[in-house]
Amino acid sequence: MPATDVLGRIAALKASGEPFALATVVRTVAATSAKAGAKAVILPDGTVSEGWIGGGCARAAVLKAAREALADGRARLVSVQPPEELAQGGHAPGEEVAGVRFAKNMCPSQGTMDVFVEPVLPRPQLVVCGSSPVAVAVADLARQVGFALTVCAPVAEQAAFAEADIRIEGYALSVDDPAERYVLVSTQGRGDEAALLAALSIDAAYVAFVGSRRKAEALREAMRARGVASERLARLNAPAGLDLGAITPEEIAVSILAEIVRTRRSLEPRGAAD
Protein backbone atom coordinates (compact mmCIF):
# COMPACT_ATOMS: atom_id res chain seq x y z
CA MET A 1 0.00 0.00 0.00
CA PRO A 2 1.55 3.35 -1.01
CA ALA A 3 2.65 5.51 1.90
CA THR A 4 0.62 8.41 0.50
CA ASP A 5 -2.57 6.35 0.98
CA VAL A 6 -1.69 5.70 4.61
CA LEU A 7 -0.80 9.35 5.24
CA GLY A 8 -4.01 10.48 3.56
CA ARG A 9 -6.07 8.15 5.72
CA ILE A 10 -4.30 9.40 8.85
CA ALA A 11 -5.05 13.01 7.89
CA ALA A 12 -8.71 12.21 7.22
CA LEU A 13 -9.19 10.42 10.54
CA LYS A 14 -7.49 13.22 12.46
CA ALA A 15 -9.66 15.81 10.74
CA SER A 16 -12.83 13.90 11.64
CA GLY A 17 -11.70 13.39 15.24
CA GLU A 18 -11.85 9.60 15.03
CA PRO A 19 -9.49 7.50 17.17
CA PHE A 20 -7.14 5.00 15.53
CA ALA A 21 -3.86 3.22 16.09
CA LEU A 22 -0.82 3.51 13.83
CA ALA A 23 1.33 0.39 13.56
CA THR A 24 4.85 0.80 12.15
CA VAL A 25 7.31 -1.99 11.44
CA VAL A 26 10.56 -0.76 12.98
CA ARG A 27 12.81 -3.82 12.55
CA THR A 28 12.86 -7.11 10.68
CA VAL A 29 15.30 -10.03 10.83
CA ALA A 30 15.39 -12.76 8.15
CA ALA A 31 12.44 -13.19 5.81
CA THR A 32 9.22 -11.35 6.71
CA SER A 33 6.24 -10.35 4.58
CA ALA A 34 6.55 -6.70 5.63
CA LYS A 35 9.72 -4.64 5.79
CA ALA A 36 10.90 -1.89 8.12
CA GLY A 37 8.94 1.29 7.54
CA ALA A 38 5.69 -0.46 6.60
CA LYS A 39 2.65 1.12 8.27
CA ALA A 40 -0.98 0.30 8.90
CA VAL A 41 -3.92 2.30 10.22
CA ILE A 42 -6.01 0.23 12.64
CA LEU A 43 -9.50 1.24 13.77
CA PRO A 44 -10.93 0.60 17.26
CA ASP A 45 -12.84 -2.48 16.04
CA GLY A 46 -9.58 -4.07 14.84
CA THR A 47 -10.10 -3.30 11.16
CA VAL A 48 -6.96 -2.51 9.17
CA SER A 49 -8.26 0.59 7.43
CA GLU A 50 -5.17 1.28 5.34
CA GLY A 51 -1.65 -0.05 4.91
CA TRP A 52 0.13 -3.35 5.54
CA ILE A 53 2.22 -4.76 8.39
CA GLY A 54 2.36 -8.39 7.35
CA GLY A 55 0.12 -11.41 7.21
CA GLY A 56 -1.18 -13.76 9.87
CA CYS A 57 2.23 -14.21 11.47
CA ALA A 58 2.06 -10.79 13.12
CA ARG A 59 -1.50 -9.65 12.52
CA ALA A 60 -3.23 -11.08 15.60
CA ALA A 61 -0.61 -9.79 18.04
CA VAL A 62 -0.54 -6.33 16.45
CA LEU A 63 -4.33 -5.99 16.34
CA LYS A 64 -4.56 -6.99 20.00
CA ALA A 65 -1.92 -4.41 20.89
CA ALA A 66 -3.78 -1.77 18.88
CA ARG A 67 -7.05 -2.41 20.72
CA GLU A 68 -5.29 -2.22 24.08
CA ALA A 69 -3.45 0.95 23.10
CA LEU A 70 -6.69 2.66 22.14
CA ALA A 71 -8.27 1.56 25.40
CA ASP A 72 -5.56 2.94 27.72
CA GLY A 73 -3.80 5.53 25.55
CA ARG A 74 -0.35 3.91 25.82
CA ALA A 75 1.96 2.93 22.97
CA ARG A 76 3.37 -0.58 22.71
CA LEU A 77 6.26 -2.39 21.02
CA VAL A 78 5.37 -5.87 19.77
CA SER A 79 8.22 -8.29 18.99
CA VAL A 80 7.10 -11.25 16.88
CA GLN A 81 9.73 -14.00 17.02
CA PRO A 82 9.99 -17.69 16.10
CA PRO A 83 9.65 -20.08 19.08
CA GLU A 84 13.37 -20.88 19.16
CA GLU A 85 14.38 -17.24 19.52
CA LEU A 86 11.80 -16.63 22.22
CA ALA A 87 13.15 -19.61 24.15
CA GLN A 88 16.74 -18.47 23.73
CA GLY A 89 15.85 -15.08 25.13
CA GLY A 90 13.95 -16.62 28.00
CA HIS A 91 10.63 -15.16 26.91
CA ALA A 92 7.16 -16.64 26.52
CA PRO A 93 4.45 -15.58 24.06
CA GLY A 94 2.29 -12.85 25.61
CA GLU A 95 5.00 -11.84 28.07
CA GLU A 96 5.80 -8.14 28.41
CA VAL A 97 9.24 -7.00 29.54
CA ALA A 98 10.45 -3.39 29.72
CA GLY A 99 7.63 -2.23 27.45
CA VAL A 100 8.13 -4.99 24.85
CA ARG A 101 5.29 -7.46 24.20
CA PHE A 102 6.52 -10.81 22.86
CA ALA A 103 4.53 -12.88 20.37
CA LYS A 104 5.22 -16.17 18.60
CA ASN A 105 5.78 -16.35 14.84
CA MET A 106 4.52 -19.69 13.55
CA CYS A 107 4.88 -18.84 9.85
CA PRO A 108 7.34 -20.78 7.64
CA SER A 109 9.47 -17.66 7.21
CA GLN A 110 10.53 -17.88 10.88
CA GLY A 111 11.50 -14.22 10.74
CA THR A 112 11.47 -11.62 13.50
CA MET A 113 9.50 -8.42 13.25
CA ASP A 114 9.22 -5.57 15.76
CA VAL A 115 6.15 -3.36 15.40
CA PHE A 116 5.55 -0.08 17.22
CA VAL A 117 1.86 0.50 17.91
CA GLU A 118 0.78 3.99 18.97
CA PRO A 119 -2.74 5.26 19.70
CA VAL A 120 -3.84 8.46 17.97
CA LEU A 121 -6.71 9.88 19.98
CA PRO A 122 -8.80 13.01 19.41
CA ARG A 123 -7.68 16.08 21.31
CA PRO A 124 -9.54 16.46 24.59
CA GLN A 125 -12.42 18.83 24.05
CA LEU A 126 -13.37 21.73 26.27
CA VAL A 127 -17.01 22.69 25.87
CA VAL A 128 -17.75 26.20 27.09
CA CYS A 129 -21.43 27.05 27.60
CA GLY A 130 -22.02 30.78 27.88
CA SER A 131 -20.02 33.89 27.06
CA SER A 132 -19.17 35.37 30.45
CA PRO A 133 -15.71 36.93 30.99
CA VAL A 134 -14.70 33.74 32.82
CA ALA A 135 -15.92 31.60 29.90
CA VAL A 136 -13.89 33.65 27.42
CA ALA A 137 -10.77 33.55 29.63
CA VAL A 138 -11.07 29.77 30.04
CA ALA A 139 -11.49 29.33 26.28
CA ASP A 140 -8.33 31.33 25.58
CA LEU A 141 -6.27 29.32 28.06
CA ALA A 142 -7.67 25.95 26.99
CA ARG A 143 -6.42 26.29 23.42
CA GLN A 144 -2.94 27.08 24.71
CA VAL A 145 -2.76 23.83 26.69
CA GLY A 146 -3.95 21.62 23.85
CA PHE A 147 -7.72 21.39 24.16
CA ALA A 148 -10.04 21.57 21.19
CA LEU A 149 -12.63 24.26 21.89
CA THR A 150 -16.38 24.01 21.42
CA VAL A 151 -18.33 27.18 22.11
CA CYS A 152 -22.03 26.92 22.97
CA ALA A 153 -23.86 30.23 23.15
CA PRO A 154 -26.69 32.17 21.50
CA VAL A 155 -25.83 33.73 18.14
CA ALA A 156 -25.54 37.21 19.61
CA GLU A 157 -22.88 36.02 22.09
CA GLN A 158 -20.66 34.02 19.72
CA ALA A 159 -18.57 37.07 18.79
CA ALA A 160 -17.12 37.10 22.31
CA PHE A 161 -14.90 34.20 21.25
CA ALA A 162 -12.24 35.04 18.68
CA GLU A 163 -11.50 31.40 17.87
CA ALA A 164 -13.24 28.06 18.27
CA ASP A 165 -12.94 24.64 16.68
CA ILE A 166 -16.70 24.09 16.83
CA ARG A 167 -19.49 26.62 17.36
CA ILE A 168 -22.96 25.57 18.51
CA GLU A 169 -25.82 28.06 18.55
CA GLY A 170 -27.53 27.52 21.88
CA TYR A 171 -26.79 24.46 24.00
CA ALA A 172 -27.68 21.46 21.82
CA LEU A 173 -24.69 19.26 22.67
CA SER A 174 -24.14 16.07 20.71
CA VAL A 175 -24.61 12.98 22.86
CA ASP A 176 -22.18 10.91 20.78
CA ASP A 177 -18.67 12.28 20.41
CA PRO A 178 -15.42 10.27 20.33
CA ALA A 179 -13.43 12.97 22.11
CA GLU A 180 -12.98 13.15 25.85
CA ARG A 181 -15.11 16.13 26.88
CA TYR A 182 -14.82 18.63 29.73
CA VAL A 183 -17.79 20.98 30.10
CA LEU A 184 -17.91 24.40 31.74
CA VAL A 185 -21.20 26.26 32.24
CA SER A 186 -20.64 29.98 32.74
CA THR A 187 -23.83 31.66 31.56
CA GLN A 188 -24.24 34.39 34.21
CA GLY A 189 -27.98 33.86 34.56
CA ARG A 190 -28.67 33.75 30.81
CA GLY A 191 -29.86 30.22 30.12
CA ASP A 192 -28.34 28.59 33.21
CA GLU A 193 -30.84 25.73 33.39
CA ALA A 194 -30.81 24.97 29.66
CA ALA A 195 -27.01 24.94 29.55
CA LEU A 196 -26.61 22.83 32.68
CA LEU A 197 -29.27 20.36 31.55
CA ALA A 198 -27.40 19.90 28.28
CA ALA A 199 -24.05 19.52 30.08
CA LEU A 200 -25.40 16.84 32.42
CA SER A 201 -27.07 14.92 29.58
CA ILE A 202 -23.81 13.87 27.95
CA ASP A 203 -21.03 11.56 29.11
CA ALA A 204 -18.33 14.05 30.07
CA ALA A 205 -15.21 13.57 32.15
CA TYR A 206 -15.87 16.86 33.92
CA VAL A 207 -18.86 19.20 34.33
CA ALA A 208 -18.60 22.45 36.27
CA PHE A 209 -20.70 25.53 36.94
CA VAL A 210 -19.34 29.02 37.54
CA GLY A 211 -21.38 30.70 40.26
CA SER A 212 -22.01 30.88 43.97
CA ARG A 213 -22.72 27.83 46.11
CA ARG A 214 -26.25 29.09 46.71
CA LYS A 215 -26.90 29.45 42.99
CA ALA A 216 -25.38 26.05 42.30
CA GLU A 217 -27.60 24.36 44.90
CA ALA A 218 -30.69 26.06 43.45
CA LEU A 219 -29.74 24.73 40.02
CA ARG A 220 -29.21 21.23 41.43
CA GLU A 221 -32.75 21.31 42.80
CA ALA A 222 -34.03 22.53 39.44
CA MET A 223 -32.21 19.67 37.72
CA ARG A 224 -33.70 17.14 40.17
CA ALA A 225 -37.15 18.51 39.39
CA ARG A 226 -36.43 17.98 35.70
CA GLY A 227 -35.62 14.32 36.36
CA VAL A 228 -31.82 14.43 36.13
CA ALA A 229 -30.41 11.29 37.79
CA SER A 230 -28.64 11.66 41.12
CA GLU A 231 -25.44 10.06 39.79
CA ARG A 232 -25.20 12.72 37.10
CA LEU A 233 -25.82 15.52 39.58
CA ALA A 234 -23.07 14.09 41.77
CA ARG A 235 -20.59 14.73 38.95
CA LEU A 236 -21.24 18.47 39.00
CA ASN A 237 -18.33 20.58 40.25
CA ALA A 238 -19.72 23.79 41.72
CA PRO A 239 -18.31 26.28 42.31
CA ALA A 240 -15.91 25.49 39.45
CA GLY A 241 -12.15 25.44 39.91
CA LEU A 242 -9.57 24.78 42.58
CA ASP A 243 -9.58 27.03 45.62
CA LEU A 244 -6.73 29.37 44.73
CA GLY A 245 -8.30 32.51 46.15
CA ALA A 246 -8.89 33.67 42.57
CA ILE A 247 -10.69 36.98 42.02
CA THR A 248 -10.35 38.18 38.43
CA PRO A 249 -11.84 36.28 35.45
CA GLU A 250 -8.34 35.35 34.33
CA GLU A 251 -7.40 34.03 37.78
CA ILE A 252 -10.65 32.06 37.99
CA ALA A 253 -9.90 30.64 34.53
CA VAL A 254 -6.51 29.41 35.79
CA SER A 255 -8.19 27.69 38.74
CA ILE A 256 -10.73 26.00 36.45
CA LEU A 257 -8.11 24.82 33.93
CA ALA A 258 -6.01 23.52 36.81
CA GLU A 259 -8.99 21.46 38.03
CA ILE A 260 -9.64 20.17 34.51
CA VAL A 261 -5.99 19.18 34.01
CA ARG A 262 -5.95 17.43 37.39
CA THR A 263 -9.10 15.54 36.46
CA ARG A 264 -7.76 14.58 33.06
CA ARG A 265 -4.41 13.33 34.34
CA SER A 266 -6.05 11.37 37.15
CA LEU A 267 -7.98 9.40 34.52
CA GLU A 268 -4.81 8.30 32.74
CA PRO A 269 -3.07 5.00 33.56
CA ARG A 270 0.21 5.49 35.41
CA GLY A 271 2.95 6.19 32.89
CA ALA A 272 0.59 7.21 30.05
CA ALA A 273 1.81 10.79 30.07
CA ASP A 274 5.49 9.90 30.30
pLDDT of 36 reads 87
CATH architecture of 125-267: 3-Layer(aba) Sandwich (3.40)
- Side-chain-side CA neighbours of 251 within 13 Å: the count stands at 6
pLDDT bracket for residue 35 (50, 70, 90): confident
| 224-249: average pLDDT | 92
Return the domain boundaries, the chain.
3-120, 125-267
Nearest CA to 232 among 263, 206, 255, 212? 206
ω into 119 cis (within 30 of 0): no
**Confidence at residue 31, expressed as pLDDT on a 0 to 100 scale:** 65
Residue 211 burial (CB count, 10 A):
22
Q: Mind listing the pLDDT tens digit for each residue in 187-199?
A: 988 899 999 999 9
pLDDT of residue 270: 46
* DSSP code string of 60-123: HHHHHHHHHHHHH---EEEEEE-HHHHHHTT--TT-EETTEEEEE--STT--EEEEEEEEE-PP
Average pLDDT over residues 103-114: 80
3-state secondary structure of 46: coil
Distance CA 207, CA 119 (A): 26
What pLDDT, on the 0 to 100 scale, is given for residue 267?
73
Higher pLDDT, 116 or 122: 116
For 136-153, the pLDDT digits (tens) are: 999 999 988 889 999 999
**pLDDT level of residue 180 (50, 70, 90 thresholds):** confident
> What does the pLDDT average to over 6-14?
90
pLDDT exceeds 50 at position 1? no
Q: How many CA atoms lie within 13 A of 97 on its CB side?
A: 10
Which helix (DSSP H) or strand (DSSP E) does residue 27 occupy? strand 20-29
The pTM (predicted TM-score) of the whole model is: 0.71
pLDDT of residue 17: 80
Percent of the chain, pLDDT > 70? Answer: 94
Average pLDDT over residues 70-78: 90
Local confidence band at 271 (pLDDT 50, 70, 90 cut-offs): very low
Distances in Å between the Cα of 169 and the Cα atoms of 74, 75, 116, 151, 152 are 36, 38, 42, 8, 6
